[in-house]
Chains A and B, each alone.
Chain A
Amino acid sequence: MATRVLDEADISRALSRIAHEILEREKGAEHLVLMGIPSRGVPLARRIAERIATIEPGADVPVGALDITMYRDDLRLKPARALEPTVVPPEGIDGRTVVLVDDVLFSGRSVRAALDALSELGRPRAVRLAVLVDRGHREFPIRADHVGKNVPTSLREQVRVRVAELDGLDEVVIGEDA
């Protein structure tokens, strides 16, 4: 029994809002880099970059991908996983403001791993975090700078984000077996 909490239009609005927020907070697009966390953070980062380009014509925010598998603290709880690509934009990340983009913020462990992974790629001026859904239950002192939607959940529930690029449709569903 799954409930859809965001549909295509909701997701589109949320991403547009995040794009606006980022521009507002960073006072422009100039030193920005968006780094998506695979799998679904990467297409979300690309969409935010596209929206930024619409809001500020001429702004071409570099988008990369940051695989955090090798930095996870729960590796030994599951069989070894396949790695996803890490792509650093040609401009690099040194001295820039990196916005990490992920689909769901939950315990905060992924973000912790992402910060470690990022620190070995260079030295950003600042790091922000943008997520489509914040479902609560943090286990680390981490919070998102930009949130598409706060979705209160129970620990037993699963939150599943689907994006058209990978799943054929845009939606966020929640359920005990989402």
Chain B
Amino acid sequence: MNRHLLSAADLTHDDAVLVLDTARELAAVSGRAVKKLPTLRGRTVVNLFFEDSTRTRISFEAAAKRLSADVINFSAKGSSVSKGESLKDTALTLQAMGADAVVIRHSASGAPHRLAHSGWISAAVVNAGDGTHEHPTQALLDAYTMREHLADGAGDLAGRRVTIVGDVLHSRVARSNVLLLHTLGAHVTLVAPPTLLPVGVATWPCEVSYDLDAPLPASDALMMLRVQRERMDAAFFPSEREYARRYGLDARRAALLPEHAIVMHPGPMNRGMEITAEVADGPRSVIVEQVTNGVSIRMAVLYLLLGGAEPA
């Protein structure tokens, strides 16, 4: 493993499987009476959140605490540029506090990369979502969830078909998922209106479809991405109704999926927009499981980055 986890592309096939295997062993800890391991005793993990995300922060916090790390939550929202401290000053503060790992969420793409490579800080950096770039731990927990349902919880996802639907252009989850799923051998199809696909998506290791119905019968997993209503105002699509009709998941579409297929969503959901409540709460939905698996995945990442010796 690299010293940092900034992009899903940092993970080789063996790294990714190691994280998933480790998470699977650690998942058992959550079922025990004593939900704690002494592994990171004396190490300090800083949750540096420049952007609100209670669910991701809590997930990392639980993961770090279950490994006995000291956790410092540093909510820096609004303090980045115009007022208060710069990223650099914040980094120097964390360095002075002896942070061993910094989990960073930032609205600017590349901010974790900057933190890791600027020389301001010696801690391991974990990207907890940066702008419209990446969210590698989300991709890992998604892959974990898929592996549990589609590959008996072992090995990789070779040959599995995953369809990711929605605002790919602005989605860090989609970017990380495409990279990681490709590494794990899955076939990915992105489905979106052409306005919500990035220029150059043809170079990504996946297929692209503008039609949602076509890939459904062959999909083992279907991931619906959040679509923000504000995108409508910027002319990415004409109306909520039209979006939901063309790209939303309702019961009719869900019925096109194979029997074993699962439905996923990274949250938070816009019920009625990209997914109907009926499907979100239905038997195929593994959305709640994704949240549970997030803690195990983040424990695995923190253990693998911090548990051993620093690479020379």
Contact = CB atoms under 8 A, between A and B. Distances in A.
Interface of A: 67, 70-71, 75-86, 116, 120-122
A83 B307 CA distance: 11
A77 to B, nearest CB: 6
Interface residues of B, number: 23
A79 B303 contact: no
A71 B38 contact: yes
Given A76-B307, A77-B309, A80-B304, 13 more contacts: A70-B37, A70-B67, A70-B303, A70-B307, A75-B307, A78-B309, A79-B309, A80-B303, A80-B305, A82-B18, A83-B21, A120-B32, A121-B34
Interface of B: 1, 18, 21-22, 25-26, 28, 32-34, 36-39, 67, 303-309, 311
Contacts of A82: 18, 21-22
Contacts of A85: 25
Contact of A86 (B28, B67, B304, B306): B28
Contacts of A71: 37-39
B235 to A, nearest CB: 48
B25 A67 contact: yes
Given A70-B303, A86-B25, A121-B32, A80 B38 contact: no
A81 B25 contact: no
Contacts of A78: 308-309
Contacts of A77: 309
Contacts of A86: 25, 28
A83 B24 CA distance: 9
Contacts of A81: 307-308
Contacts of B39: 70-71, 75
Nearest to A120: B34
5 contacts: A67-B25, A75-B39, A75-B308, A79-B309, A83-B26
Nearest to A81: B308
Given A70-B39, A116-B38, A121-B32, A79 B25 contact: no
Given A82-B21, A85-B25, A86-B25, A76 B36 contact: no
A164 B189 CA distance: 45
Contacts of B38: 70-71, 116
Given A75-B308, A77-B309, A116-B38, A83 B22 contact: yes
A151 B304 CA distance: 35
Contacts of B37: 70-71, 120
A80 B36 contact: no
Given A67-B25, A82-B22, A120 B305 contact: no
Nearest to A86: B28
Contacts of A70: 37-39, 67, 303, 307
